[in-house]
């Protein structure tokens, strides 16, 4: 299922996402199954994007708009124990009101 997003100036927008590794949501987060790490990961991803590039009079490029067409998380490596693809999604702690 693809979601179409309009580009916004100086913002990245995301559309359809095909994942090799599950992406955390508002209710979940990553956890290393070997060491329990919840906070430090190296993420390798492939991104396809359409960019509006503005060149100033000197020829310096500046990306003014960027629309992510697709994004795939290829692998996730734990920074603590250096294991690759041993990541699971776990529930985030409940927010205190």
Residue 3 lies in a domain: no
- Residue range of the domain that includes 16: 12-91
Q: Is the pTM of this model over 0.75?
A: no
- Of the two residues 35 and 85, the one the predictor is more confident about is 35
Q: Which residues, 6+ apart, have CB-to-CB distance to 37 below 8 Å?
A: 31, 78, 79, 80, 81
pLDDT at 94: 82
pLDDT in tens, 29-82: 999 999 999 999 999 999 999 999 999 999 999 999 999 999 999 999 999 999
Q: Which residues, 6+ apart, have CB-to-CB distance to 27 below 8 Å?
A: 91, 92
Residue 1 lies in a domain: no
Residue 6 lies in a domain: no
* Structural domain total, the chain: 1
Residue 97 lies in a domain: no
pLDDT at 1: 36
Residue 75 lies in a domain: yes
- Sign of the CA dihedral 31, 14, 45, 65? negative
């Amino acid at each position: 299922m693809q979601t179409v997003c309009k580009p916004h100036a100086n913002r990245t927008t995301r559309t359809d996402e095909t994942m090799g590794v599950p992406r955390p949501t508002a209710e979940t987060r990553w956890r290393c199954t070997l060491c329990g790490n919840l906070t430090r990961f190296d993420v390798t991803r492939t991104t396809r994007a359409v960019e509006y590039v503005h060149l100033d009079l000197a020829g310096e490029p500046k990306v003014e708009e960027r629309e992510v067409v697709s994004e795939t998380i290829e692998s996730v490596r734990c920074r603590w124990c250096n294991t690759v693809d041993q990541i699971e999604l776990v529930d985030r702690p409940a927010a205190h009101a």
